Structure 1
Amino acid sequence: MLDLLFLAIAPTLFLLLYIYRKDRYEPEPLHLIAWVFFLGALSVIPAGLIELIFPEGVVSSAVVAPVVEETMKFLIVFLAIYRHPEFDEPMDGIVYATAASLGFATVENILYVIEGGLAVGIVRAIASVPGHVVFSCIWGFALGTAKFRPEREQAGIILTGLLGGIALHAVFNFSLEVYEVAGFLLILFVILPLAWWTTSRNIACAHADPASACSEKQRDAAALAAMTSGTLPGRDPGTGSQPPASPAPRPARPVCTNCGMPVKPGMRFCEQCGKEI
């Protein structure tokens, strides 16, 4: 039993740590991460009760479950942490969405693994658990982006992100429900790699967002590196010394005020017109 519990819990904690470490410029407080993770775990209860209303089948798996589960996880982050002072940069949306999704996935994993055993635990560790992360990171990135945009743009960004997470979850479940082994291979070698690539891009975009704390810190780090290496403005990047001054312009040669012809220094009369210089 302990080995099954380890198999159910270890993948979720590993992925939570992985995403948490991506927030390297201003990591979120661990107690808030734990709180959102706990709320995500609790959300399995209302989600499960709602899903029990619908009969098992393709519709329940590919439509009801994605809508209910992603909405539950989204509401946890939106209601519990979105307006918290610590939610202060775009990357935070991804971090807290991951915490909520993995809290949910942990409880779901335990239930499935206890019932299905080792094989189910392995399949979920390499497919379902990473799936929960990439589904939620879509709307998590949208939440993090929207918070620092004008208010009139926020609802559209958030809704688009939530629908994107639901859609990817639906494709994932539909592939498993309808195509079984072929669907699992499609998920493993196509859907998840593309989704993880998208997640990595979203993380990079979150860090590069002008609202991100890391943007300012990157500029500070670049300035500090320039100071320590001597590559300050106005200095040669190779040596750190002042660049050589440009040679002074040569004085203009005197000309005759009457005809405009150049005259040699020391001459009293113009050779062209004879006028006195």
Structure 2
Amino acid sequence: MIAMIGAAVAPGIAILSYFYLRDSLEPEPISMVIRSFIFGVLLVIPIMVIQYIMQTEWNWRDGIVAEVFQSAFVEEFFKWMVIYFTAYKHVEFDEPYDGIVYAVAVSLGFATLENLFYLIINGLDIAFWRALLPVSSHALFAVWMGYYLGLAKFSKGVRKERIFLWVSVALPIALHALYNAIFLSIQNWLVVIVPFMLILWWQGLKKVQRAHDFGSKKLSSRPQ
């Protein structure tokens, strides 16, 4: 059981540590990051209940439409809600890259407990693939979410903020839905999912650099 817990927790902690340590400007308080991670963990049960209701009461069991709403929309929307109400308005959210840190923390908290449940049910044989695909994908969807939350937080004007906030939730939902659709609709999904994940990493790391550049400009413009 200890090995299973370790296999479930290690990928999320490793990826979160990577993105946290990339924050070279004004690193977030570790207590805030841990709190966000725990919020993500706590999201798993209510989301599972909502998905169960969708499957049983609404009879959404199979197909791409069901996966889009049950998985992509529900999971990304509730993660976004948690980030918005617990981190976005917090005083510690003081540079654009912070959006990425908090979004990744919440998403990986969710992905870690979800990963543990999958390993308990299916065994350690799938641990490598779970770390490589679902856990990593949750983190990468969060990078896009956090990047646009950062742009929203430090945008000039209410209209721009609202546009970036909308993009920050809509884009991760779309990416998550596309990720699910690859597995559901393509027989030889490995041929497609590998380049898809590589593109997510490539673009995600570009978002990280852009958030840093934006943050550097913001800090340099502060009165000395």
TM-score (norm 2): 0.91
Task: Say if 1:176 and 1:183, in contact at 8 Å, map to a contact too.
Answer: yes
TM-score (norm 1): 0.74
Q: Answer with 163-172 or 47-56: which moved more.
A: 47-56
Give distance in 1, aligned partners of 2:173 and 2:218.
33
In structure 1, the partner of 2:70 is: 64
In structure 2, the partner of 1:195 is: 200
In structure 2, the partner of 1:48 is: 48
- Alpha-carbon offset, residue 216 of structure 1: 6.0
CA RMSD of aligned residues (A): 1.7
Query: What secondary structure is seen at the aligned counterpart in 1 of 2:28?
Result: coil
Q: Residues 37-186 of structure 1: matches in 2 within 5 Å?
A: 37-55=37-55, 56-58=61-63, 59-149=65-155, 150-179=157-186, 182-186=188-192
Task: Say if 1:51 and 1:60, in contact at 8 Å, map to a contact too.
Answer: no
Give distance in 1, aligned partners of 2:100 and 2:10.
20
**Deviation string, structure 1 residues 143-164 (Cα, Å, up to 9, x no partner):** 1111111222111111112111
Give distance in 2, aligned partners of 1:179 and 1:62.
16
Structure label with greater radius of gyration: 1
Q: How many residues align?
A: 215
In structure 1, the partner of 2:25 is: 25
Query: What secondary structure is seen at the aligned counterpart in 2 of 1:153?
Result: helix
In structure 1, the partner of 2:58 is: none
Residues 117 and 185 of structure 1: CA distance in aligned 2, closer, same or farther (over 3 Å): farther
- Alpha-carbon offset, residue 79 of structure 1: 0.3
Task: Say if 2:143 and 2:208, in contact at 8 Å, map to a contact too.
Answer: no
Q: Residues 5-20 of structure 1: matches in 2 within 5 Å?
A: 5-20=5-20
* AA partner of residue 200 (structure 2): A
